Amino acid sequence: MKREIFYIHHECLPSTQDWARTRIEEFDLSKITVISADEQTQGRGTKGRSWISPKGCGIYATFVFKAPDLPFLMAQRMALTINRLFPTRFRFPNDLYIGDKKAGGILAYVHENAMLLGLGLNLSFTEEMLAKIDQPAISLDIEDPRQALREIAESFA
């Protein structure tokens, strides 16, 4: 049986992951809740790195659901789903690459019995925006980011 998906979208958040963490007790973990934003002002990746999240240029989202036993396997599952939409490859522990350039990342966090799975994908970054990333990066070209987000979310239902 597929799980219900509940979407919460914001124009701008400091971080979808932080927003979800502060409200974790409010979520129905039998459902998948997808928190997304058009822009993040304080997005972050692993090891305390910042995640550049300009308005309208990517998918910035956190998925909240009942925690499985192995968070890494859920990150891999997300990466495989994304690979069906975009020609990416997963590089341990959480990066999505096209060739030798970073296209996005996945950030897993477990809080008690809930999983927060963050996703950042560069979709329509300019060369100037890509230059601000601390490693070689690439932007995916996609017409409908919300549809792509729905397809990724539905892979978990």
Query: So what's the pLDDT on residue 73?
Result: 64
Query: So what's the pLDDT on residue 129?
Result: 92
Over range 53-57, report the average pLDDT: 93
Q: How many CB atoms lie within 10 A of CB 80?
A: 12
Q: How many CB atoms lie within 10 A of CB 86?
A: 16
For residues 40 and 69, which has the higher predicted lDDT (pLDDT)?
40
Q: What does CATH list as the number for 5-154?
A: 3.30.930.10
pLDDT bin (cut points 50, 70, 90) of residue 1 is low
